[in-house]
Copies of this chain bind each other. A is one copy, B any other.
Amino acid sequence: MVYAEALCAERSQRLTPIRRRVLEVLAGSHKPLGAYEIIDELAEGKTKPAPITVYRALDFLLENGLIHRIESRNAFIACIHRHDFGTMAVFLICDRCGAVGEAASAAVASTLMNAANSAGFTPKTPVIEISGVCSHCRSL
């Protein structure tokens, strides 16, 4: 949160109340949330924001790398790393509890880049999502 403020200030991007609240909701969740789940969270007591309002906040947060989109779930999670380096986010999605772990791996990044480049492909945004069972659920 402090990091988000600093990053936005540095880039002259505005972390407005809505954007901040969406980020807070995501940061406070241990699992990815759909856009409409975020709406419900924000609706506590106050008036319920329109979907487009939340989607715009999500767009902003995505563009600034503060959250990730989990494509296979149509959901979003707060980013827990700083992707400054050549690392690449790998999402480990538990089928049982729904929790998502974010592993940053430079090794994965380099092999993937190799595979892409050897196919003459110039990569931009990689999506790596692995479904499975997390260590906690496995031990139950």
Contact = CB atoms under 8 A, between A and B. Distances in A.
A131 B125 CA distance: 5
A114 B108 CA distance: 9
A103 B120 contact: no
B127 A123 contact: no
A65 to B, nearest CB: 15
A43 B121 CA distance: 35
Contacts of A41: none
Interface in A115-140: 115-116, 119-135, 138
Interface of A: 71-72, 90, 92, 94-95, 101, 103, 105, 107-108, 111-112, 114-116, 119-135, 138
